[in-house]
Chain A
Amino acid sequence: MRELFEKLLKMDRRWIFLLVGIALMVPILKPLKLPGLKASTPVQDLYTYIEGLPEGSKVLISFDFDPASKPELEPMGAAIVRHCMRKKLKVVAMTLWVTGASLAQRVVESEATAAGAKYGEDYVYLGWKPGNVAVITGMREDIHVVFPKDSKQTDLSKIPMMQDIRRLRDFDLAFSFAAGSPGLDTWIAYGADKEKVKMGGGSTAVNVPSMAVFVQSGQLVGFIGALRGAAEYELLMNFSGTATRGMDGIALGSYLVAALIILANIGYWLTRKPKGVA
């Protein structure tokens, strides 16, 4: 047994890569449809809050991520835009990440087209502006100064929907789907908290522990954590998107990593030398 674990602990890491690859690929090729998905409290809270907004409420959505985090954050962004469109809310989308500008536009345009929403009346895409924190602080004073034109180079003053949206505080709800900084915490610290704007959002799995602070303090009305959160939101929205389809891979991958950690620790305890033995 000892020899077996010694061999296991010295295993070439390419075997681990292969195992991870298989664990992630199998559910893509043959979906397992594992049961158990249920909306967690922060996701349910966000859904309930949006459901409670009256028609025509103004919502700001900032897609603060780049292509690297697209698989994790795009599904939740799409689900929220879809929900807003379904509820006939006025959506203003933007991004603080230059490499995310096209991604955000695609998500908004595709969901808006599917919902039959009209540009300039039901939704607007402002695009990207450099400055990070400066953009947020500027939007607190005057959005039309920070973004004189939208992504289509139309003057904001000529867009019907933007006539009564001048400042951050004009929004009934703001979102940030963030892969890092600037992101959700930046929006909370420099925008939402200062202007008393309700804030919701989502983040990648690695950022979920950091965001738990804001969920617990009530600074977020709701929160979508990683792909699982997005899958929960899709469940509430009654559709099966890329997040739901990705859950099987997440499950097998997580179980594999957990099994590897447990095996490595059993091996460590079985093969370790007593103190004082060289």
Chain B
Amino acid sequence: MLFAKRQLPLIICFVVGVVTALQDFVPTNFSQKVSIWLSDWYIIAAMFASLLGFGSVALVHSGRIRRQMKGWGYSVLVFVGVVAMFAVGVISGGKEVSDSGSPTPLTWMYVYAMVPLQATMFSLLGFYVASAAFRSFRAKSLESTLLLAAALIVLIGNVPFSNYLWSAKMGLTEWQGIKIGMPDIVGWVMSTPNVAARRGVAFGVALGAIATALKIIFGIERAYLGGGD
């Protein structure tokens, strides 16, 4: 049993990891077939992961309902939503348009429930961002002052009307041979300090991901196997 729980997953992980990494550098017909084959496996594994994800969500929310924790009514709504959408999907045969050409209940649920609900949730961000910026965006240090200045430049500079006032009305387009139009200033912030920082972060993340991948492939990192026997 220990072999199935410990050694076998490590062997599978090592073989798949090495083959996946190598096939990308070997452009032959065989390696391309291996790539497609592995992609299919990835999709199958991802589907099982989705089921696992739903199982986990169901477990959490059923626990909340059972214990009647604060806000347990929302957990009931989670199940109502899942069951309703699933039922409507089955009734509609997974189709958006019926054979007669009319929209199915699935389309109705998508257009009139899911689209406005998701759009509303995302729109609320705008209100919370404004409130959070007012409460916590302070020039307390040199770094936060620089961040604040950059944010204000991009925020105001990205509005076309600002450029109209700045360039057309105030005539601020060039100073001693340097372009100082609003798009030029915003462009500089975005393409110089922003890009430099982003690249630094991207390199760091990539190197970290490579290091973690190597540790998993070679069995140094085994947390994914879970604890205990």
- Residue positions of A touching B, CB distance < 8 A: 13, 16-17, 19-21, 24, 34-38, 40-41, 66-71, 99, 102-103, 105, 130-135, 137-138, 141-142, 145, 208-210, 212-213, 215-216, 228, 231, 247, 250-251, 253-258, 260-265, 268-269
CB of A32 to closest CB in B, whole Å: 9
Q: In the complex, what residues of A have CB within 8 A of residue B135's CB?
A: 13, 264
Known: A40-B183, A130-B46, A264-B138. A138 touches B160 (CB 8 A): no
Q: In the complex, what residues of A have CB within 8 A of residue B40's CB?
A: 134
A255 B156 Cβ-Cβ under 8 A: yes
B162 A212 Cβ-Cβ under 8 A: no
Q: In the complex, what residues of A have CB within 8 A of residue B38's CB?
A: 134
In chain A, what residue has the closest Cβ to B152? Answer: A258
CB of B188 to closest CB in A, whole Å: 11
Known: A66-B118, A130-B46. A261 touches B164 (CB 8 A): no
**B35, B133, B159, B195: the one within 8 Å of A212 (CB):** B195
In chain A, what residue has the closest Cβ to B167? Answer: A36
In this complex, how many residues of chain B approach chain A with their Cβ under 8 Å: the count is: 58
Does B148 sit at the interface, judged by CB under 8 A? yes
Known: A38-B163, A255-B159, A261-B134. A71 touches B119 (CB 8 A): yes
Interface of B is mostly: helix
B36 A142 Cβ-Cβ under 8 A: yes
Q: In the complex, what residues of B have CB within 8 A of residue A130's CB?
A: 43, 46-47
A264 CA / B117 CA spacing, docked (Å): 32
B127 A250 Cβ-Cβ under 8 A: no
A138 B137 Cβ-Cβ under 8 A: no
CB of A146 to closest CB in B, whole Å: 8
In B144-202, the 8 Å CB interface with A consists of 148, 151-152, 155-156, 158-165, 168, 183, 187, 190-191, 194-195, 198-199, 202
Known: A20-B127, A67-B115. A212 touches B190 (CB 8 A): yes
A257 CA / B158 CA spacing, docked (Å): 13
Known: A145-B36, A257-B129. A213 touches B161 (CB 8 A): no
Closest 5 A-B residue pairs measured CB to CB? A36-B164, A134-B39, A68-B122, A36-B160, A67-B118
Q: In the complex, what residues of A have CB within 8 A of residue B158's CB?
A: 228, 254
Residue from the set B155, B160, B194 with the largest chain A CB neighbour count within 10 Å: B160
A213 CA / B192 CA spacing, docked (Å): 10
B202 A34 Cβ-Cβ under 8 A: no
Does B75 sit at the interface, judged by CB under 8 A? no
Known: A213-B195, A258-B152, A258-B155. A68 touches B119 (CB 8 A): yes
Q: In the complex, what residues of B have CB within 8 A of residue A16's CB?
A: 127, 130-131, 134
